[in-house]
Amino acid sequence: MLNDKNIETVQQLLHSSSPKKIVITTHHKPDGDAMGSSLGLYHYLIQLNHQVQVISPTDYPDFLWWLPGNNTVWEFPETEEASKQAIAEADLIFCLDFNNLGRINEMGEVVRQSNALKVMIDHHLNAEGFENAAYADTKAVATAELIYKFIVRMGDKEKINLDSATCLYTGILTDSGSFKFNSTTPDVHHITAELLEIGVKPYDIFENIFDTNRLNRLQFVGYCLLNKLKVLPEYNTAYITITKEELKQFQITTGDTEGLVNYPLSIKGIKLACLIVDRTERVKLSLRSKGDIAVNEICSKYFEGGGHKNASGGHSFKTLDETLQIFLNALPEIKVQLQ
């Protein structure tokens, strides 16, 4: 169900005669939807003559650096003082693709303390409720889909230019699993068709996102599939664990583990897949499932996380082995669903 709280107030501010200071931010380690949404919105807002700054709470994968407007993005750890000042002085802060301020790390409290109107545009479950205004729908395939609908709702469909359309298409492409997830509705295809009419080139986007692997990344994937993939037939579950030493061995950088969890899920008969990675400061988990297996509930209950029903993430401050054991201990609770 669409939550469009106080959206008329946002529309009035965006269409007022005086330019506004606006910050756009998204979640920790942004993915294609996070950056596509942020820059898609950025290219719209600058056409309204607002002063707009996109701030990422962390670094993000280099396969997203080609996105139009990427050169304007600030990474909070590298621009902390300037970012804090921009947040403090902002009239509006758009919070995209997350609904809990803990998802933006140290920036969370800075945003919370800001007097700006906080606008959440998101498609995840269990919102914290920090926002003053919202345009959210948990049934949307991607936040980029909602950004498109938000711009149309503002009465500015004609301001979705090629740069904005390219970013929004990227967000929808990546968060829909290349249009294969159940949340890919006819409406999603209508939207992407309109983006193509603007001039988006899907081949170029697909190549930039999926066909720019470094050799060490492909060797890392092969190593994981050969040496680290474990299958539990009694639970129709498969998982991969990765140590911090293995990350160092293959010179893994941000984004290199993206999509790795989908390999175990592709095994015939597997209904639940887990990727557990030791990131030194914490252990990160990614869960994927098929059918009615709600991995967001597992992540929420055991790993301080959440997300979507069939795609969620979380973390642990325990060791890699201890974290794996927590996951394995949870399987008997959902064994019936896994059969």
Kindly give, in sequence order, each residue whose CB lies less than 8 Å from that of residue 32, ignoring residues fewer than 6 positions away: 64, 170, 171, 173, 174, 175, 209
- pLDDT, position 254: 84
What CATH code would you report for 7-210? 3.90.1640.10
Mean pLDDT of 240-256: 94
Angle subtended by helix axes 32-45 and 162-175, to nearest 10: 160
Mean pLDDT score of the chain: 95
Whole-number Cα distances in Å, 6 to 134, 149, 151, 209: 7, 16, 15, 35
- pLDDT, position 58: 95
- pLDDT, position 255: 86
Using alpha carbons, select from 221, 225, 244 the residue that is nearest to residue 323.
244
Whole-number Cα distances in Å, 199 to 86, 175, 205: 33, 21, 12
Using alpha carbons, select from 53, 175, 182, 195 the residue that is nearest to residue 123.
175
Query: pLDDT tens digits for 93-134?
Result: 999 999 999 999 999 999 999 999 999 999 998 889 999 999
Cα–Cα distance measured from residue 322 to residue 315, given in angstroms and rounded to the nearest whole number: 12
Whole-number Cα distances in Å, 112 to 23, 50, 129, 245: 13, 22, 11, 37
Mean pLDDT of 287-308: 90
Give the chain's length. 339
The amino acid sitting at 198 is I
Helix (H, G, I), strand (E, B) or coil at 187: helix
Q: How confident is the model at residue 33 (pLDDT cuts 50, 70, 90)?
A: very high
CB environment 1-22: b (16+ within 10 A), e (fewer): eeeeeebeebbebbeeeeebbb
Domain ranges of the chain: 7-210, 215-338
The answer to whether 14 and 135 have CB atoms below 8 angstroms apart is: no
- pLDDT, position 305: 85
- pLDDT, position 48: 97
Using alpha carbons, select from 54, 51, 26 the residue that is nearest to residue 39.
54
Name the class of domain 215-338: alpha beta
Whole-number Cα distances in Å, 236 to 16, 274, 297, 333: 56, 12, 18, 14
Percent of the chain residues topping a pLDDT of 90: 86
Query: pLDDT tens digits for 315-336?
Result: 999 999 999 999 999 999 888 8
The answer to whether 240 and 264 have CB atoms below 8 angstroms apart is: yes
